[in-house]
Amino acid sequence: MSEPLSRFSQSPHTSDAADAVSDNAAAGLGSAHGALDGGLQDMPGSNAHAVPCSDYSHGSPRGNSHGVPSSISHSSPNAVLQDAPTGTPHETRSIPLGVKLYGFICLIYGGLGTVLLTVAFTYSFMQLVTNPQSLRLGNDPMTLVIINVVAFVLSLFGSAGLAVLGWSLLKNERRNAGRWAYTLIFVGIAEILSSIMSSGLSLTLLIPFAQVIILIVLSARIDPELVRERELKGRMERKLDEIQDRAAAEEGLLGRDLSGAGYIKLNFFNLFWVFVVCSVIGLVLEIIWHMAIVDPGVYQDRAGLLYGPFSPIYGFGALLMTCVLNRFYRSNPLFIFLVSAAIGGAFEMAVSLFMQLGFGAIAWDYSSATLFGLIPDPIAVLCHGRTSSFFAGMWGVLGLIWIRLLLPRLLNFINLIPWKWRYSVTSVGAVLMLINCLMTLGALDCWFQRVSGTEPTIALQQFYATYYNNDYMQHRFQSMTIHPRQSSRVQ
C-alpha cells in the first residue's frame, strides 16, 4: 500500500506510487490486453500475421535475435513484401462524400478568398493613405495599421490553407488534411483575436468561430492517427483507465501523473479546476492587496467576469505555469521563480494590450513605477506600464508557491468530487464558465459602444443596455475604465 498523497508529494520519485497503483490494477491488465488483441484481430485490414500484444516485451516484439517476431521471422522475404500494404488502412480509407463536399467548398472559398482579400486590403490601405480623415482612428494609427497587416496575413494564409485542405480532402489525403486542419484552427483563433482588437465584437465573428468548430471536429475524424488510436485502443484503454482510476482513488493519487513525466496529468479535468480555483484565489489576493496596501481599509471589487468571484487573469496565468512547469516541479526554486516571473509578466502585458486595443479598457497602469523609489522601473517603461519588475516578481513568487505548495493540495480538493460525478460536474461547470466569459466580452463591447456615443440599435445591444448599463458595469468592474480613443478600432 503506497503512502497518502500528502507524503507522496514529498517523495523524490513517482515510480513507487506508479508501481503501487499498477499492482492494484494488475488483475485487470490481462483482460485489457486480451481486449486489445481481440481488437487487433477484428480490425479491418488486419491479417493472420498480426502480432498480439503478448508478443511484445518492454516495447519490443519477442522473436529472433534481430527483434523480429517469430510469426514473421520464418516467412520468406517475398511473402513479407507481398503482404506489406502501400498505406495503412486508416490513411487509405475513403473520406465520406459529405466531407469531400466540404473540401470542395473550402477549395473554392479559399481560392476566391485569396483574391478578394488582396483587393479589399489594397483598397483599404489606399483609402487610409490618401484620405485618412474618412476614418476615425485611435491615438496610435500605426498600431491599427500593424493589427490590420497582421490580420491580412492571417486571413491570406487561412484562405490559402483552406484551399490546400480542400484539395487534400478531395484527393483522399487524410494525413495531410489533418495537419492543415490543426494549423488552420490556430490561425482561426488568431484571426478572431485580431478582429476583436480592430473592430470589436460583431456578427462577422460567427464565420471564423464556426470555421474553428468545424475544423476541430474535422481534425478528430480524418486524422489517421486518431482514427487508428480510437479503433485499436478504445476498448482496452477504457477498461484499463477505469481500473487504474479506481485503484488511484483508493490510494489517494487520483490526478497524479504516475509516469513520472510531470506532477499532474495535463487533462481537461485537472486543468479546468486549476483555472477555477486559481481564479478565485487570485481575486481574494487582489482584494486583500488593495485593502492592505493600495487603499488601506477600502474594499474594491476586483472581479473579472460578470458572475462569480473569478479573476480569470490569474486562472489563465496558473494554467500557463502548470503546463510549462509540470515537468520541472522538482527543479531549483530559483529556476521556477524566474520562469514564473517571465510567464506572468508577459501574460499580464498581453492581457493589458488586448483589453486596451479591443475595448479601450485600462484596468492597471504601472507607468509611474520605480525601483526602490530611485529610478524609473525599466520593465514598466519598456512595457508602457502594462507590467513592472515588482509585479513580475510577484508572479514569480506566486508561481513558486503554486507549484511547490498549493498544487498538491489542489488535487486533494478536487478529488473530493465523487468519482462517479467528477466528469459530469466538470462538463457542466465548463459550459457555465464559457457562457460567463462570452457574456462578459459582450457586455464589455456594448459598454465600449455606449461610451463611444453609439446608441444601442440591435436587440443584443438593447439587452445589455437594459441589464448591464454603464452604472452596473462601473460598479462590477471597479478598477476598470473605458477610453475609446485608447483603442485601435476603426470608428
Spans of all domains in the chain:
1-47+94-260, 56-82, 268-486
User: Cα–Cα distances in Å, from 68 out to 45, 61, 74?
Assistant: 21, 7, 10
- Contact status, residue 191 vs residue 156, Cβ threshold 8 Å: no
How many angstroms separate the CA atoms of 167 and 103, rounded? 7
| 115-149 tens-digit pLDDT | 888 888 787 777 767 776 655 555 556 666 677 77
Residue 371, H or E segment: strand 370-371
- pLDDT bracket for residue 269 (50, 70, 90): confident
Average pLDDT, the chain: 75
Q: How many of the other CB atoms lie within 10 Å of CB of 187?
A: 23
Lowest model confidence (mean pLDDT) among 162-171, 173-182, 218-227, 319-328: 218-227
Q: 41: Cβ–Cβ under 8 A, 6 or more apart, which residues?
A: 50, 52
Q: β-pairing, 60-61 with 375-376?
A: unpaired
pLDDT of the residue at 362: 85
341 pLDDT higher than 90:
yes
Average pLDDT over residues 284-309: 90
pLDDT at residue number 244: 56
Question: What is d(CA 353, CA 361) in angstroms, rounded to the nearest whole number?
Answer: 9
H/E stretch holding 98 reads helix 97-130
pLDDT in tens, 218-253: 876 776 665 565 555 555 555 665 565 555 555 555
How far is it, in rounded angstroms, from Cα 41 to Cα 53? 11
Candidate from 34-38, 291-295, 475-479 with smallest mean pLDDT: 34-38
pLDDT at residue number 18: 47
Express each pLDDT in 87-104 by its tens digit: 555 566 778 888 889 889
Instruction: Please give the backbone phi and psi of residue 56, each rounded to the nearest 5 degrees, phi first.
Output: -110, 140
- Residue 45's SS3 state is coil
- The residues near 424 (Cβ < 8 Å, ≥ 6 apart) are none
What pLDDT, on the 0 to 100 scale, is given for residue 242?
58
C-alpha to C-alpha distance for 34 and 26, rounded to whole angstroms: 13
pLDDT of residue 164 exceeding 50: yes
Lowest mean pLDDT among 38-52, 363-377, 424-438: 38-52
C-alpha triplet 155, 444, 357: angle, nearest 5°: 50
Q: What angle do CA 113, 119, 121 make, to 5 degrees?
A: 95
> What's the pLDDT score for residue 243?
61
Residue 245 makes CB contacts below 8 A (sequence gap 6+) with 254, 419
For residues 188-205, give the mean pLDDT.
Answer: 78
Note whether 166 and 107 are within 8 A (CB): yes
Distance, CA of 379 to CA of 367 (rounded, Å): 9
* Dihedral sign of CA atoms 9, 13, 14, 17 in order: negative
Name the most confidently modeled range: 205-209, 225-229, 344-348: 344-348
pLDDT at position 420 over 70: yes
Percent of the chain with pLDDT over 90: 19
Q: Does the predicted model carry a pTM greater than 0.75?
A: no
Q: In which band, very low, low, confident or very high, does the pLDDT at 7 lie, cut at 50, 70 and 90?
A: very low
* DSSP states along 164-177: HHHHHHHTT-HHHH
Q: What percent of the chain has pLDDT over 70?
A: 68
Quick check: 353 and 474 in contact, CB under 8 A?
no
Q: Which of 35-39, 107-111, 445-449 has the lowest mean pLDDT?
A: 35-39
pLDDT at residue 71 is higher than 70 = no
Structure confidence at residue 127 (pLDDT): 72
What pLDDT is attached to residue 288? Answer: 93
* pLDDT (tens digit per residue) in 301-324: 889 999 999 999 999 988 888 888
**Residue 29 and residue 6: Cα distance in Å, rounded?**
28
Q: What is the pLDDT of residue 480?
A: 87
Dig out the grid coordinates for 434 from the structure: 464559457
How large is the average pLDDT for residues 209-218?
Answer: 84
Cα–Cα distance measured from residue 75 to residue 79, given in angstroms and rounded to the nearest whole number: 6
**What three-state secondary structure class fits 56?**
strand
Q: Quick one: pLDDT at residue 51?
A: 42
